Homo-oligomer: A and B are copies of this chain.
Amino acid sequence: MLKDILDNNENYQPGLSIDCVILGFHDNQLKVLLIKVERANKWSLPGGFIPVDQDIDTAAITVLNSRTGVDGVFLRQFATFGKVNRNNQHFDKKTLEYLQIEEEKGKWLTRRFVTIGYYALVDFSKILPNPAGKLELVEWIDHKEVPELILDHREILDKALDTLRIELNLMPIGYNLLPEKFTIPELQKLYETILDKKLDRRNFLRKITNIGILTKLDEKKSNVAHKAPNLYSFDKDKYEEVLKNGLNQGW
Protein backbone atom coordinates (compact mmCIF):
# COMPACT_ATOMS: atom_id res chain seq x y z
CA MET A 1 0.00 0.00 0.00
CA LEU A 2 2.83 2.34 0.85
CA LYS A 3 4.46 1.33 -2.45
CA ASP A 4 1.24 2.16 -4.28
CA ILE A 5 1.33 5.62 -2.80
CA LEU A 6 4.97 6.11 -3.72
CA ASP A 7 4.43 4.92 -7.28
CA ASN A 8 1.64 7.47 -7.58
CA ASN A 9 2.99 10.12 -5.29
CA GLU A 10 1.74 12.84 -7.60
CA ASN A 11 -1.72 11.89 -6.36
CA TYR A 12 -0.89 12.63 -2.75
CA GLN A 13 -0.17 15.81 -0.89
CA PRO A 14 3.59 15.83 -0.27
CA GLY A 15 4.93 16.34 3.24
CA LEU A 16 1.52 16.08 4.83
CA SER A 17 -0.32 13.33 6.63
CA ILE A 18 -3.34 12.77 8.82
CA ASP A 19 -3.52 10.87 12.09
CA CYS A 20 -6.72 9.88 13.83
CA VAL A 21 -7.44 9.47 17.52
CA ILE A 22 -10.48 7.22 17.74
CA LEU A 23 -11.95 6.94 21.20
CA GLY A 24 -14.49 4.46 22.46
CA PHE A 25 -15.90 3.51 25.84
CA HIS A 26 -16.17 -0.05 27.08
CA ASP A 27 -16.14 -1.76 30.46
CA ASN A 28 -16.13 1.69 32.02
CA GLN A 29 -12.82 2.38 30.36
CA LEU A 30 -11.77 4.78 27.64
CA LYS A 31 -10.29 2.91 24.70
CA VAL A 32 -8.12 4.10 21.82
CA LEU A 33 -8.04 2.45 18.41
CA LEU A 34 -4.44 1.64 17.57
CA ILE A 35 -2.58 -0.14 14.79
CA LYS A 36 0.35 -2.44 15.36
CA VAL A 37 3.16 -1.70 12.92
CA GLU A 38 4.92 -5.02 12.62
CA ARG A 39 8.17 -3.80 11.17
CA ALA A 40 8.67 -1.20 13.89
CA ASN A 41 7.21 -3.46 16.57
CA LYS A 42 5.36 -0.44 17.88
CA TRP A 43 1.82 0.79 17.88
CA SER A 44 0.56 3.82 16.03
CA LEU A 45 -2.51 5.91 15.52
CA PRO A 46 -4.38 5.10 12.32
CA GLY A 47 -3.02 7.59 9.82
CA GLY A 48 -2.09 8.07 6.22
CA PHE A 49 -1.61 10.41 3.31
CA ILE A 50 -3.89 12.98 1.75
CA PRO A 51 -5.18 12.51 -1.81
CA VAL A 52 -4.72 15.75 -3.72
CA ASP A 53 -8.31 15.65 -4.90
CA GLN A 54 -9.85 15.52 -1.42
CA ASP A 55 -10.54 18.19 1.18
CA ILE A 56 -8.49 17.42 4.24
CA ASP A 57 -11.66 16.72 6.26
CA THR A 58 -12.68 14.19 3.63
CA ALA A 59 -9.19 12.76 3.47
CA ALA A 60 -9.35 12.12 7.21
CA ILE A 61 -12.36 9.85 6.66
CA THR A 62 -10.63 8.14 3.75
CA VAL A 63 -7.47 7.58 5.75
CA LEU A 64 -9.28 6.17 8.75
CA ASN A 65 -11.38 3.88 6.63
CA SER A 66 -8.47 2.56 4.60
CA ARG A 67 -6.47 1.72 7.69
CA THR A 68 -9.18 0.32 9.94
CA GLY A 69 -12.36 -0.21 7.96
CA VAL A 70 -14.11 2.21 10.26
CA ASP A 71 -16.72 4.35 8.55
CA GLY A 72 -19.47 6.79 9.30
CA VAL A 73 -17.88 8.63 12.19
CA PHE A 74 -17.63 12.37 12.69
CA LEU A 75 -13.98 13.33 12.69
CA ARG A 76 -12.98 16.60 14.25
CA GLN A 77 -9.72 18.37 13.54
CA PHE A 78 -7.94 19.39 16.72
CA ALA A 79 -4.33 20.32 15.95
CA THR A 80 -1.47 20.11 13.47
CA PHE A 81 1.95 18.80 14.40
CA GLY A 82 5.14 19.79 12.66
CA LYS A 83 8.29 19.59 14.71
CA VAL A 84 11.34 19.43 12.49
CA ASN A 85 12.50 16.07 13.76
CA ARG A 86 9.14 14.44 14.22
CA ASN A 87 9.67 11.75 11.60
CA ASN A 88 13.36 11.75 10.84
CA GLN A 89 13.84 8.42 12.52
CA HIS A 90 10.79 6.82 11.01
CA PHE A 91 11.62 6.14 7.37
CA ASP A 92 15.35 5.80 7.71
CA LYS A 93 17.60 3.96 5.25
CA LYS A 94 17.16 0.64 6.97
CA THR A 95 13.41 0.87 6.87
CA LEU A 96 13.37 1.87 3.23
CA GLU A 97 15.55 -1.14 2.42
CA TYR A 98 13.29 -3.38 4.42
CA LEU A 99 10.30 -2.05 2.49
CA GLN A 100 12.22 -2.38 -0.78
CA ILE A 101 11.77 1.25 -1.65
CA GLU A 102 14.25 2.87 -4.03
CA GLU A 103 16.23 5.70 -2.54
CA GLU A 104 14.95 8.24 -5.04
CA LYS A 105 11.30 7.49 -4.35
CA GLY A 106 12.06 7.27 -0.69
CA LYS A 107 12.82 10.95 -0.60
CA TRP A 108 9.11 11.58 -0.68
CA LEU A 109 8.98 9.80 2.67
CA THR A 110 12.15 10.86 4.40
CA ARG A 111 11.45 14.55 4.46
CA ARG A 112 9.69 16.12 7.42
CA PHE A 113 5.98 15.33 7.45
CA VAL A 114 3.52 17.66 9.03
CA THR A 115 0.51 15.78 10.33
CA ILE A 116 -3.01 16.95 10.95
CA GLY A 117 -4.71 15.42 13.97
CA TYR A 118 -8.37 14.39 13.93
CA TYR A 119 -10.35 12.77 16.68
CA ALA A 120 -13.69 11.04 16.97
CA LEU A 121 -15.84 9.57 19.71
CA VAL A 122 -17.41 6.35 18.56
CA ASP A 123 -19.69 3.61 19.75
CA PHE A 124 -17.28 0.91 20.84
CA SER A 125 -19.65 -1.94 20.08
CA LYS A 126 -20.28 -0.83 16.51
CA ILE A 127 -16.64 -0.67 15.54
CA LEU A 128 -15.16 -3.93 14.44
CA PRO A 129 -11.45 -3.41 13.98
CA ASN A 130 -10.66 -4.60 10.51
CA PRO A 131 -7.13 -4.12 9.30
CA ALA A 132 -6.44 -3.15 5.71
CA GLY A 133 -3.28 -5.18 5.34
CA LYS A 134 -2.66 -8.57 6.80
CA LEU A 135 0.53 -7.41 8.39
CA GLU A 136 -1.39 -4.95 10.49
CA LEU A 137 -3.27 -5.47 13.67
CA VAL A 138 -6.03 -3.06 14.65
CA GLU A 139 -7.10 -3.09 18.27
CA TRP A 140 -8.83 -1.20 21.01
CA ILE A 141 -6.35 -0.36 23.73
CA ASP A 142 -7.26 0.95 27.16
CA HIS A 143 -6.11 4.56 27.27
CA LYS A 144 -4.38 3.93 30.58
CA GLU A 145 -2.37 1.13 29.02
CA VAL A 146 -1.28 2.63 25.73
CA PRO A 147 2.19 1.26 24.94
CA GLU A 148 5.01 3.16 23.26
CA LEU A 149 3.83 4.70 20.03
CA ILE A 150 5.74 5.62 16.89
CA LEU A 151 6.88 9.17 16.17
CA ASP A 152 5.09 11.81 18.19
CA HIS A 153 1.85 9.85 18.32
CA ARG A 154 1.82 9.90 22.10
CA GLU A 155 1.90 13.69 22.00
CA ILE A 156 -0.92 13.68 19.44
CA LEU A 157 -3.00 11.37 21.60
CA ASP A 158 -2.43 13.50 24.69
CA LYS A 159 -3.39 16.64 22.81
CA ALA A 160 -6.60 14.97 21.62
CA LEU A 161 -7.48 14.08 25.21
CA ASP A 162 -6.73 17.63 26.36
CA THR A 163 -9.03 18.93 23.64
CA LEU A 164 -11.71 16.49 24.69
CA ARG A 165 -11.46 17.66 28.31
CA ILE A 166 -12.02 21.24 27.19
CA GLU A 167 -14.87 20.19 24.91
CA LEU A 168 -16.48 18.53 27.89
CA ASN A 169 -17.00 21.94 29.47
CA LEU A 170 -18.49 23.40 26.31
CA MET A 171 -20.51 20.55 24.85
CA PRO A 172 -22.41 17.48 25.93
CA ILE A 173 -20.71 14.23 25.05
CA GLY A 174 -21.71 10.63 25.26
CA TYR A 175 -24.05 10.32 22.34
CA ASN A 176 -21.51 8.43 20.27
CA LEU A 177 -19.70 6.83 23.14
CA LEU A 178 -22.50 5.03 24.96
CA PRO A 179 -25.03 2.48 23.80
CA GLU A 180 -28.56 3.69 23.13
CA LYS A 181 -29.71 2.84 26.61
CA PHE A 182 -27.40 3.59 29.50
CA THR A 183 -27.42 4.43 33.17
CA ILE A 184 -26.43 7.64 34.90
CA PRO A 185 -23.56 5.93 36.73
CA GLU A 186 -22.23 4.76 33.36
CA LEU A 187 -22.39 8.29 31.99
CA GLN A 188 -20.70 9.56 35.11
CA LYS A 189 -17.91 7.01 34.73
CA LEU A 190 -17.37 8.30 31.21
CA TYR A 191 -17.00 11.84 32.48
CA GLU A 192 -14.76 10.73 35.33
CA THR A 193 -12.56 8.74 32.98
CA ILE A 194 -12.07 11.63 30.59
CA LEU A 195 -11.52 14.17 33.34
CA ASP A 196 -9.50 11.74 35.42
CA LYS A 197 -11.23 12.76 38.63
CA LYS A 198 -14.10 11.69 40.86
CA LEU A 199 -17.41 13.49 40.74
CA ASP A 200 -20.18 13.54 43.32
CA ARG A 201 -22.97 11.16 42.28
CA ARG A 202 -25.82 13.38 43.40
CA ASN A 203 -24.49 16.63 42.03
CA PHE A 204 -23.64 14.93 38.76
CA LEU A 205 -27.20 13.66 38.40
CA ARG A 206 -28.62 17.10 39.05
CA LYS A 207 -26.30 18.87 36.65
CA ILE A 208 -26.56 16.37 33.83
CA THR A 209 -30.33 16.17 33.96
CA ASN A 210 -30.62 19.98 34.10
CA ILE A 211 -28.97 20.17 30.69
CA GLY A 212 -32.16 18.61 29.37
CA ILE A 213 -30.68 16.12 26.95
CA LEU A 214 -31.65 12.95 28.79
CA THR A 215 -34.84 10.93 28.62
CA LYS A 216 -35.55 8.75 31.61
CA LEU A 217 -36.80 5.37 30.40
CA ASP A 218 -39.36 3.24 32.24
CA GLU A 219 -36.86 0.45 32.46
CA LYS A 220 -34.11 -0.71 34.74
CA LYS A 221 -30.80 -2.29 33.97
CA SER A 222 -30.96 -6.04 34.56
CA ASN A 223 -28.40 -8.55 35.70
CA VAL A 224 -26.50 -6.18 37.89
CA ALA A 225 -25.20 -6.53 41.39
CA HIS A 226 -26.93 -4.38 44.00
CA LYS A 227 -29.72 -1.97 43.25
CA ALA A 228 -30.68 -1.88 39.56
CA PRO A 229 -30.08 1.55 38.09
CA ASN A 230 -32.57 3.24 35.83
CA LEU A 231 -31.95 3.36 32.09
CA TYR A 232 -31.76 6.63 30.14
CA SER A 233 -31.38 7.58 26.51
CA PHE A 234 -30.32 10.80 24.83
CA ASP A 235 -32.98 13.09 23.43
CA LYS A 236 -31.38 13.48 20.02
CA ASP A 237 -33.12 16.76 19.14
CA LYS A 238 -32.26 18.50 22.38
CA TYR A 239 -28.77 17.04 22.26
CA GLU A 240 -28.17 18.54 18.82
CA GLU A 241 -29.58 21.83 19.99
CA VAL A 242 -27.18 22.01 22.93
CA LEU A 243 -24.33 21.01 20.63
CA LYS A 244 -25.14 24.03 18.52
CA ASN A 245 -25.54 26.54 21.33
CA GLY A 246 -22.97 25.26 23.76
CA LEU A 247 -23.26 24.68 27.48
CA ASN A 248 -21.77 27.51 29.49
CA GLN A 249 -22.23 30.95 28.15
CA GLY A 250 -19.46 32.33 30.34
CA TRP A 251 -20.02 35.90 29.35
A residues near B, CB below 8 A? 13-16, 50, 52-57, 59, 77, 79-84, 111-112, 114, 116, 166, 168-170, 191, 195, 199, 247-251
Contacts and interface: CB of A to CB of B under 8 A. Distances in A.
A168 B80 contact: no
Contact of A199 (B15, B55, B251): B251
Contacts of A114: 13, 16, 50, 56, 116
A109 to B, nearest CB: 13
Contacts of A52: 84, 111-112
Contact of A13 (B112, B170, B251): B112
A83 B112 contact: no
Number of copies: 2
A168 B250 contact: yes
A181 to B, nearest CB: 23
Contacts of A15: 13-16
A7 B83 CA distance: 24
Nearest to A12: B15
Contacts of A80: 56, 77, 80, 116
A32 B118 CA distance: 29
A168 B251 contact: yes
Contacts of A191: 251
B116 A169 contact: no
Contacts of A16: 15-16, 114
Contacts of A169: 170, 248-251
Contacts of A112: 13, 52
Contacts of A77: 79-80
20 contacts: A13-B112, A14-B14, A14-B15, A15-B16, A16-B114, A50-B82, A50-B114, A52-B112, A53-B84, A55-B82, A55-B84, A56-B81, A56-B82, A57-B82, A59-B82, A77-B80, A168-B251, A169-B250, A199-B251, A248-B250
A193 to B, nearest CB: 12
Nearest to A13: B15
Contact of A84 (B54, B81, B84, B116): B54
B79 A55 contact: no
